[in-house]
Structure 1
Amino acid sequence: MGESRTELLAWLNDLLQINYTKIEQCGTGGAYCQILDSIYGDVPMGRVKMNAKQEYESLANYKVMQNIFKAKKIDKPIPVDKLVKCKMQDNLEFLQWIKRFWDSNYGGQGYDPVARRKGMPVETPATIAPVRSSGGGLSASGSTGRVGGRTPIGGPRAGSANSETVRALEAQIREMSGHLEGLEKERDFYFAKLRDIEILVGQSLETFEDKEDPSAIQLLEIQKILYSTEEGFEVPDAGQALDDEETETF
């Protein structure tokens, strides 16, 4: 049996000198990277975002981690697509594994986690999906704690509660807007790559007179993948596609 959530969080916070309150917060990948650094001492912590807020920052953390696994020949798949969603069960299972790995490989040497982070900010990261606080408001940090100041003696005043709810909602909107901006950047980045591949395939096909040539057939298969659609996906009509082409800058 692995350690409980409480035991794992206590060990993690003590080892790294952080203040995580939920297992889900490990899903950003920063803590996993620094656990490995405590063992090996050569993780490029300058590239690790301990307070990752956007999914692309978390993915960058996992890229660092994958490189370490490859360099150290650690034969353990990293389920990035599951961990990055900041779900408790997936991260609990992986944290239990990495704790056992740490127990077997940590040499007992002194480790200064703050110095290794070189003063980089380590605010408790937000989970991808903020949860409702016990008071009914939304916490942008993903914690179940109350947002705002102390509750006055005699209970919260209505105006104070409303202002706290507004601040919490505004914080959530800011976080969601930042997350959306990051997703849009990722979308544009990968779309540009696919567009380059589409142009290259089309140009290469034009050089083949015999479309039965094996290379031409392979290019046609690639083109078929590029143009394939799924149910619910609408292909722009010819007029719209033409407008897009005319406004595109080469």
Structure 2
Amino acid sequence: MNKVKFDTKHDYEYVTNYKILQSAFDKHKIDKIIPVERLMKCKFQDNLEFLQWLKKYWDQYYPGGAYDAGSRRKGGHGASSSTGPARASGGTRTMASKKPAAGGTGVRSAASRNTAGASGRLSSSSGNSAVLDQNSAAVIIDLNKQLGELKATVDGLEKERDFYFGKLRDIEILVQQQQEADASANVEESPVLKEIQNILYSTEEGFEVPPEGEVEGEGDIEDETF
């Protein structure tokens, strides 16, 4: 502390004090590089971050108890004297000692605001995630409902298809049996039976006749899961 100059006025004096502080950090194995150039430019963000780090380190490692800052500063240059012009210096010292306290309060307030802001953002993010989860769950429920309705529709269409296919198959067999009977009896083929057969075997453009004994799509439907 006796190397620190408390009545600094010039940049080189600030640099000297920062070097003393950095040496103290190195001596006590405190892994922190002081950004001297940035601090001397008096940018708010850089000084705020450094003060926040100092406050955090103090809170973490200070063992507690009273700290007599005045007696610790007596050995430093520009921190003593109590008569004559030194009174102004003493007044300056008092103001200087008060300013860090106010600055510390400002740092604590800024840190509190930052913490509150971060907490608010986290709460907002959590709230948004909860809303998204609820919306996703609602969409999944709606899709499952639609899937169930589509499956019921497909099942109904399959039953209806099988029903009419069975009817057509019975008509086809009946026509074939009658044609065979007429051929055996050497009877002229009935034009009505011929027309019915033409209707049964007629197709539309693009339609492919499935292999015999297989209903169109029947094999795929049995194995398909909806």
TM-score by length of 2: 0.33
Q: For the pair shown, which has the larger CA radius of gyration, 1 or 2?
A: 2
Quick check: which one's helix share is greater? 2
Normalising to structure 1: TM-score of the pair?
A: 0.30
